Amino acid sequence: MSRTVMTFGTFDVFHVGHLRIIERAASFGDRLVVGVSADELNFKKKQRYPVFTQDERVAIIAALKPVDEVFVEESLELKRHYLQEYAADVLVMGDDWAGRFDEFKDLVEVVYLPRTPAISTTALIEKISGA
């Protein structure tokens, strides 16, 4: 029986921390589906748009070897629906989200992995703008 893993993220200004979580997520099953958050969803959450558009972010994620399928995550409220739609067995997220998706444990295995230290989109943007 094949196991489907799902993970979600903005993946803006793609960096090695993003790559590592995608590689580690893929190792939990046979098929990896990634939800890339919509530009509007980011604006609602953070009052700013990502540096790269959702189409650009989807194209980058879709090109990665461990990724089998990509879709745009339109709303945080639709997680249960997405997990069912893609018949997920496992949900993997970084531990900045620890505990936040425990409500889906009735449906899937929920795994929080340690974030890659010392790298983030925000830190990269600050470094580049200060250069």
List contacts with ligand C2G (CB under 6 A).
Answer: 8-12, 17-18, 21, 37, 73, 76, 93-94, 96, 115-116, 119-120
What is 60-72 written as a DSSP string? HHHTSTT--EEEE
Q: Find out whether 34 and 9 touch, Cβ atoms under 8 Å.
A: yes
Place of tokens 């790298």: 119
Of the two residues 1 and 84, which places its CB atom closer to ligand C2G in the complex?
A: 84
What is the closest distance, in whole angstroms, from the C-beta atom of residue 87 to ligand C2G in the complex?
Answer: 18
Helices (H), 27-120: 39-46, 54-62, 79-85
Of the two residues 4 and 34, which places its CB atom closer to ligand C2G in the complex?
A: 34
Of the two residues 1 and 94, which places its CB atom closer to ligand C2G in the complex?
A: 94
Q: How many CB atoms lie within 10 A of CB 28?
A: 19
CA 13 to CA 18: how far, in whole Å? Answer: 9
What is the closest distance, in whole angstroms, from the C-beta atom of residue 24 to ligand C2G in the complex?
Answer: 8
What is the closest distance, in whole angstroms, from the C-beta atom of residue 1 to ligand C2G in the complex?
Answer: 26
Position of minimal CB gap to ligand C2G: 94
